[in-house]
Structure 1
């Protein structure tokens, strides 16, 4: 069970995590805390911080996402609306991957969040996990139009 893994994980492993990126239900299971409201999500993230994870990127589905960096105000990113939603499969993975790409390219955390939201918006408009992963030109084009 994931929650038990988090509680039994050696602290040195959690300290080695740069950014932990659960969705809100995974965060609830991992911390054994409710994540129904943004305040509750923040409290669950504090538990992650106490376990050694300094940055927690929470995917909130239709409510967007939030990056919690220990000691700082959360960075919230709303979704970028999709023209149509066909399939949400892979949207969270697309978001996390796009965030990581933008991060290694040296973008600010806010820019990373926006880039990731654009990629996820494109992802939900295509059926299937692999076919829905957008390419860079598509993400950049969307960002120019919103």
Structure 2
């Protein structure tokens, strides 16, 4: 029974903390401060977890990491060789597309010219038919 009382007394007494010199430095490290700040800032004004803010910060961190990697440059030779090959392929495709575009534009202008000539020929053909009909009427009147 005395052991039961002693454990009960131990529970009733407040726990003591280690002194700051025994466990850790007086000031928290910058990393622990930023983690604590991040944990606190995940909560909105009502104290609920703010998922949107957390996702936005996460995307910002990922974008910053990606930007840093791009600025550092591609250190892998194979990746660099692949990107160079892709770029040259893109350039050749672009040049090919430009040539094809020029050829198609030339064909379009040629076809437009042909359409104009055909229209003129149709108009002239109609004029000649009308004139021919008028001449036939004149000849038929003279022959009577």
Which bin holds the TM-score, normalised by the shorter protein?
A: under 0.3
Between the two structures, name the one with larger relative contact order (CA 8 Å, sep ≥ 6).
Answer: 1
Question: Greater strand share, 1 or 2?
Answer: 1
Compute the TM-score of the two structures, normalised by the length of structure 2: 0.17
Between Structure 1 and Structure 2, the one with more helix by share is 2
Whose radius of gyration is greater, 1 or 2? 2
